[in-house]
Every structure is written in C-alpha cells, then in structure tokens.
A and B are shown apart, each in its own frame.
Chain A
Amino acid sequence: MIININDNDVGIDNISALIQKLSFIFKYEGMNVSGYEFKITSSKLDAMSALVIFKAFDFIAKKSCLKEPKVNLDNIIKLFSIYGIEKSMKQLINQEELDDLYRNLKPSKTADFFIAPHPINRDSFKNKKDLENKYTQFIADYYQNICPELIQYFKTCICEIASNFLHHALEDKHSILMAQGNKNKIEIVCVDNSKGIISNLDPDNKNHAEVMSSAFKRGVSSKKNDFHCGTGLWYIENIAHQLKGTFKVYSEDMSYVCKDGKVFVTKSPYWKGSIFYLKLNVLKNTNIDDFFSKFNKDNILGLFNL
C-alpha cells in the first residue's frame, strides 16, 4: 500500500486531508503490519503539516504499527531540514530511540524569520532556564523592536498551550511545540498522540461537537479539582480574535476552527491526541489590552496593581 502525500495534502487549509491519509495508523497499534510505503512528494512543508507527519511517524515507531515502512528519505530529509528536525525524522523512520534528539532541538533565525521547535515534557519544564533561554526569551527578543506591547500575549499563548499539553498529554512524553514567525505574524503549532480533548473532558458524551465546543468556554475543565481554571482555550481563542488571527484545534474525531471571528465545529478524520495551530498577526493598533483589562476591572476582587 502506497501513501502519497503531495501538495494537496499539506498546508494550513489542507490539514484534514493530511489527517485522513495518516489516520489508518491508529488502528494498527501493536500490529506491525508490513507492505506500507510513504511517498512524500510535496514541494514544500508548512510547520503544522511537518509536525503532524513527524508525530505520525513517532506513533508508528513507538506503537509498532507498521513493519519497516518504506519512505522516500531524500525528499523527507530536505523538507524537514527547514525545521531542524530532519535528524529526528530520520531516526523515527529507522525506529530508533529519540530522547536525546528531542533535547537537542533549538531555535534558529535568519534576518526576517525564525523557527523554534521545543519539546513539551516534564523534563523540559523542570529546566526553567532551558525553556526561557532557548525559547520564550528568544521569541521575546525577536519581537522586542517590532511589537513590544504584544510580546506578553505571544508568551501567554505559548505558556497556555504548553501548559495544556503538559498537564493533559500524560500518555505522550514527546509532544513538540513549534513557533515560527516574522515581523507580520507568529505561528504556534503543538501536536501530540495522547488522550484527546473529548476523552479528557467528557468521554461518555456521544455528542462530540457539544463536548468540543464546551472545551472553549470559559471555566470548563476536566481538571478543576487539580487547580486548573478551564480558561486556557477560551483565552487563546480570544487573543487570536483580538489580533485577527486563526486558531485551529483537531482532536480525536472533531475540529474547532476559529477564523475571521467565526467558529466552525465539524467532524474530522480521527487523530489520536490533539493538534493545535495558532496564528497571531502583528497589529499596530489593537484594543487587546482594553479587552482583557476589562475582565480585571469588572469583578469584586479589588486587587491592587501598583
């Protein structure tokens, strides 16, 4: 069986097509099925598609889904080298141990563009200096002269997304978060193969669209007794809305897409775990501070901010 992945299967608007092509692997857990070949012939690869393919191969290797799948390695290495994960990808294809490679991921930048992959697991979070120096400080420095007023929002989104994956993705210790951007925008992608949003929030509810929608409501969390607030997804969606951005979440058999102020909740090909894509625009005149300050003022707490 040949799995062809071409230009029609990659890109932010084609993510459902890509998941559709890769979804079969989740049925083959532990089965070591032989005879599969992957031909990735797309001319380029966006960060979201790259991480989805990467995590699919990660799942194949870890869960022994396929026996020695064939791949067109030369093109794959070329496509993934843009994101600095080509060596990890090669090791995944050869089904080798990955722990060290995940630790060696590092950000890079050219004059007008940066790419910053970072593992999300308990080890990387315990090492605060690593997370700060390699990651959020890198991004803060990049935007310091471009939009200093928006850095807090970029860092907040990274913090909330990473925190979400860290605390919910307990089955997959190799989630990767990747940020990339330029002077006009920042994109943040995070993918895992853990328990998805539906299974975390309300596994017995058959109405998955309802469960998926509720995950984005303020104050809804599966872990309220564990000090979560249930604000994360609502918060990110509203930051995206204020910065005229896009927020897409694919989890299990549902997708939640927030774009141009509209929300679409639809069935999606099955992905074990979750895929987050966030694009925030660098806007000069925005009311984002007013929007969130209003929540701080309109309550009874009376906090004192000097």
Chain B
Amino acid sequence: MEINLSKYGKIISTDDTSNSILRDIESSLNSEGPVNINALGVVISTKSARLIFGCLYKKLSKINFNSKIHFKNASTTFMFAVNEGILTELKN
C-alpha cells in the first residue's frame, strides 16, 4: 500500500490538508503490509508533521508505527519535520 503525498500538494501546511492525510493513512492501516508514505518533492511544516505523524505515532506506539509506516523518497527536511512533530507530540 502506498500513499503519494504529492497528490495533496507539494507543500503541506494547512490543518485541512493534514487532517485529510491523517484520515487517509488511518484508513489504510488495515491493509496487509506496511503503508509506504511517498514524500517525493514534498515539503511539510512542523505543525502538519505533528498533526499527522505525531498523532499517529502516539496512537500506534513506536513498534506498531515503525512496522506499519515506512517513509519513501523523503528529504532530510521532511524527515526532520516528522521527527520534530512526533517528539513534540510525545512530550505533550
């Protein structure tokens, strides 16, 4: 299963888009195997990263998140935002 983030926009920064992506990822979690998040050419704000991946990580826990969610073609800045979003969400 693969979710191509660029279909939501090359810049992900609004709450509406973030919530829409979160919903789509959550509805894919029941599929077999991991969900590949293809982030080719996509930039994400730290707030959106927290809304999507922070919430998901907290909900699934570390083991389940890392077995189900795999990032693909993610740039350094994309992964930095995701790490920051998750770490912030875990602290709050």
Contact = CB atoms under 8 A, between A and B. Distances in A.
Contacts of B69: 303-304
Given A132-B10, A292-B77, A228 B47 contact: yes
Contact of A219 (B14, B44, B77, B88): B88
Given A159-B11, A227-B47, A296 B83 contact: yes
Please indicate which of the listed interface residues B8, B34, B45 has the most CB atoms of chain A within 10 Å of its own CB. B45
B84 A231 contact: yes
B59 to A, nearest CB: 14
Given A136-B11, A304-B66, A224 B77 contact: no
A21 B12 CA distance: 38
B72 interface: yes
Contact of A289 (B44, B76, B78, B83): B76
Label chain A's interface by main secondary structure: helix
A126 B14 contact: yes
Contacts of B34: 304
B47 A163 contact: yes
A256 B69 CA distance: 39
B57 A132 contact: no
B80 A292 contact: yes
Contact of A152 (B13, B77, B92): B77
Contacts, number: 121
A299 B46 CA distance: 17
B80 A159 contact: no
A125 B14 contact: yes
Given A125-B14, A166-B13, A292-B80, A302 B66 contact: yes
Given A229-B84, A303-B71, A131 B76 contact: no
B77 A153 contact: yes
A296 B87 contact: no
A162 B13 CA distance: 9
Contacts of B77: 152-153, 155-156, 292
Nearest to B72: A306
Contacts of A285: none
24 contacts: A125-B13, A126-B16, A128-B8, A152-B77, A156-B77, A159-B11, A160-B45, A160-B46, A166-B13, A219-B91, A227-B15, A228-B50, A229-B46, A229-B84, A231-B46, A231-B88, A235-B80, A289-B76, A296-B80, A296-B83, A300-B62, A303-B82, A306-B72, A306-B73
Interface of B: 8-11, 13-17, 34, 36, 43-47, 49-51, 54, 57, 62, 66, 69-89, 91-92
Which 5 pairs of residues, A with B, have the shortest CB-CB distance? Answer: A128-B9, A229-B46, A229-B88, A163-B45, A156-B77
